[in-house]
Amino acid sequence: MLIKGAHVITPGKDLGIASVRIVEGRIAEVCGGLAAKSGEETIDAGGLTLLPGFVDIHSHGRGGCDFCDATDEALDIIGRGKLADGVTGFLATGLTRPEEDLAAMCRAVERYKERGEGATCLGIHLEGPFFNGEMAGAQNPAYLKKPDAALVKRLNAISPIRKVSLAPELDGAEGCIRELAEIGIVTSGGHSAADYDAFERARKAGMTHLTHFCNAMMPIHHLRPTMVTGGLLADDVFVEIITDGVHLSDPMIRLIAKAKGPNRVMIITDAMCAAGEPDGMYSLGGLRVKVEKGRATLADVPYDPKAVVSNVAGSVALFPECFRRFVAVTGWPLCEAIKAAGYNQLRSLGIADRGEIAAGQIADIVLVDDSLTPRMTIVGGRVLMRS
C-alpha cells in the first residue's frame, strides 16, 4: 500500500508532504515522490494530515457498552467505535469489581484479540480495586481492597495486565508496586489521598504513572505538598490527563504541559459507556450515572462544590475531542502534541514498535482533516475506517 500526498507528522518531526509505503503491516518507506509499484494499492491523501494512530490507555467503554460487560458483542462495539475516533490501540480498562468479574473481562479481552476486529487491544488496565475509600469517586466502594499483587498475577495469567492503578498510601502498596514492576507491570497512583512523602516512596518503589492527574487526588497546597505536587516535580513520572473541558481547567492543562513537557503527558478519555451516546441514565460499575450536556455524574451523589472528590463519573468524550482541546489549549505544534496522543503512552508501557511514522514501525495510522477529525484509520496496515 502507498499513501501519497499527505502532510506527514511523526513525534518530534514535521516531515511535510510525503508518501508512506506499507508492506506486510509495517511502514517500509517514508519520503517524498515515491512512485506506486505495479499492482500496489494507492491512497491519495492530498489535503489530509497523516499521524501515528491515537492510543487510549484509560477508557472504560463506548457506544453503550463497558469492558466489564465482558461479552463479545460489547468488546466488538467498543473496538469498532474506537476506529471512528482514530484510536488504533487501547488498554481495556476495568473498574472496582469482584475478582470473578475482572476475570470474566480478561477472558473476553482474549477472545477479542483472537477475532482481530477493531482497534488493537494492547492489554488491560486495572483501575481498581486498590483505592482509598475516601477518594473512590465513581469507583464502587463495596469492592475496594488493599493492594494485592497475587490477585493481579491471577488475572495476568488469563490476559496480560499492562497497568494497575492504586492508592500508594495504602498498606502493602509499596511492596505491591515492587512486585509488579519485577514482572513488567506498570503501576499508577490514583484515587488517593497520598501526600508528597507517600508519593515519593511509591515512586522510588517503581511507580511510574499517575492516573487522571489531579482528579481524585488531594489538590496542591503551598504548605502541605501532595501527590499532585510530586507529579509536577518528578521528571520520570508520566501523567494521564482528561482534556474534555470537565475534568481540568484550561489553565491547569497549560500548567501541567509546561511543568511536564511533551515527553511525560498522556491524553486519556476515561470514557464510560455513554461516550458517543445521547444524554440519559447509564451504569458504571454498578453505580447509576446521569449524563447531561456532555457531563457524567453519579445520580445518587449530590454535587458539593467544597468536596475534594466531585460526583463526576468519568467522561463521555471521544479521543479526537480531547486531542483537539489539548492542541488548542497548549498551543503546541502537532509534532509535539502528538507525543501526548500515543507515543508517550506506548513508550511508558515498553512498547517500541508502534507510535512513529518511520520504517520498521507497525503501520498504525490515522489521517485527519484540518479540524483534526479522523477520516481514515489504518491498523497494522489494514484500512479499517474511512469517512
Are the CB atoms for 238 and 344 separated by under 8 Å?
yes
Which residues have C-beta within 8 Å of that of residue 223, sequence separation ≥ 6? none
CA distance 12 to 19: 18
Residues shown for the chain: 387
**Cell, residue 212:** 487522571
CA distance 50 to 44: 12
Q: Write the pLDDT tens digit of every residue in 134-149.
A: 999 889 999 999 999 9
First-to-last alpha carbon distance for the chain, in angstroms, is 19
Gap between the Cα atoms of 290 and 272, Å rounded? 11
What's the pLDDT at 285? 85
What pLDDT was estimated at residue 302? Answer: 83
* Domains by residue range for the chain, with CATH: 2-50+355-386 (2.30.40.10), 54-348 (3.20.20.140)
CA distance 355 to 57: 13
User: Do residues 90 and 59 make contact, with C-beta atoms less than 8 angstroms apart?
Assistant: yes
For 259-307, what is each residue's pLDDT tens digit? 999 999 999 999 999 999 999 999 988 889 999 998 999 988 887 777 7
SS (H, E, C) the chain: CEEEEEEEEECCEEEEEEEEEEECCEEEEEECCCCCCCCCCEEECCCCEEEECEEEEEECEECCEEHHHCCHHHHHHHHHHHHHCCEEEEEEEECCCCHHHHHHHHHHHHHHHHHCCCCEEEEEEEECCCCCHHHCCCCCHHHCCCCCHHHHHHHHCCCCEEEEEECCCCCCHHHHHHHHHHCCCEEEECCECCEHHHHHHHHHHCCCEECCCCCCECCCCCCCCEHHHHHHHCCCCEEEEECCCCCCCHHHHHHHHHHHCCCCEEEECCECCCCCCCCEEEEECCEEEEEECCEEEECCCCCCCCCCCCCECCECCCHHHHHHHHHHHHCCCHHHHHHHHCHHHHHHCCCCCCCCCCCCCECCEEEECCCCCEEEEEECCEEEEEC
pLDDT along the chain (387 residues), means of 10: 98 98 98 90 97 99 97 98 99 97 99 96 98 92 97 99 99 99 98 98 99 96 98 99 97 99 98 95 90 91 78 93 99 99 99 98 99 99 97
pTM: 0.96
List C-alpha distances in Å: 228 to 83, 196, 212, 348: 33, 8, 11, 19
Find the Cα–Cα–Cα–Cα dihedral 174, 180, 184, 187, rounded to 10°. Answer: -50
What is the grid cell recorded at 249?
Answer: 481547567
